């Protein structure tokens, strides 16, 4: 989508290229990790499948973009929301080893709910508590997966 006719900046093209590169990067990295077999998968199998899904989906975006004239983002506000969400997920990943998954999940959920304009503070806080509790029960209690605990740990 061209943000404006004067700027000539094609944000949609940047996103499509980034997704294409990301998909290829994940595919190559997962092959280096090793795929294994379906009976005995190795650690690269799941990222490989994810990379293929990203890559193929992006190809479909390119093909659909040729036929469609409707832009991916209809306004600057939608672009702002997309970029802010992306940075929130980057924060989530980078802060998790330092703060631990519970604190980062709580903060990340509040940030996402405010970005998506969930009204007031009571609803975002309730959502954050619920999501954090669900993540704790699912990964720590039921699956007993050792997620980063950060400074609490």
Domain that holds residue 83: 75-153
60-91 CB burial, b ≥16 within 10 A, e <16? ebeeebeeeeeebbeeeeebeeeeeeeebeee
Q: What average pLDDT values come out for the chain (153 residues) when binned by 10 residues? A: 51 84 93 86 88 92 71 81 92 91 94 93 96 91 82 72
**CB-count burial class (<10 Å; 0-12, 13-18, 19+) for 3:** middle
Question: Which pTM value belongs to this model?
Answer: 0.61
Helix (H, G, I), strand (E, B) or coil at 132: helix
pLDDT of residue 66: 64
Last residue of a domain, one of 74, 107, 127: 74
Claim to verify: residue 64 and residue 118 sit in the same structural domain: no
Claim to verify: residue 32 and residue 3 sit in the same structural domain: yes
pLDDT of residue 8: 57
Domain count, the chain: 2
């Amino acid at each position: 989508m061209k943000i404006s006719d004067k700027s000539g900046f094609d944000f949609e093209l940047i996103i499509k290229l980034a997704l294409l590169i990301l998909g290829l990067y994940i595919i190559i990295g997962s092959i280096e990790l090793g795929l294994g077999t379906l009976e005995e998968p190795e650690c690269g199998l799941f990222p490989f499948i994810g990379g293929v899904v990203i890559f193929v989906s992006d190809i479909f975006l390119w093909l659909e973009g040729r036929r469609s004239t409707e832009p991916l983002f209809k306004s600057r506000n939608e672009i702002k929301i997309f970029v802010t969400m992306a940075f929130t997920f980057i924060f989530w990943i980078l802060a998790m080893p330092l703060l631990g998954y519970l604190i980062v999940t709580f903060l990340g959920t509040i940030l996402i709910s405010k970005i998506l304009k969930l009204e007031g503070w009571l609803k975002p806080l309730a959502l954050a508590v619920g999501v954090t509790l669900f993540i704790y029960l699912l990964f720590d209690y039921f699956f007993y997966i050792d997620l980063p605990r950060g400074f609490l740990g």
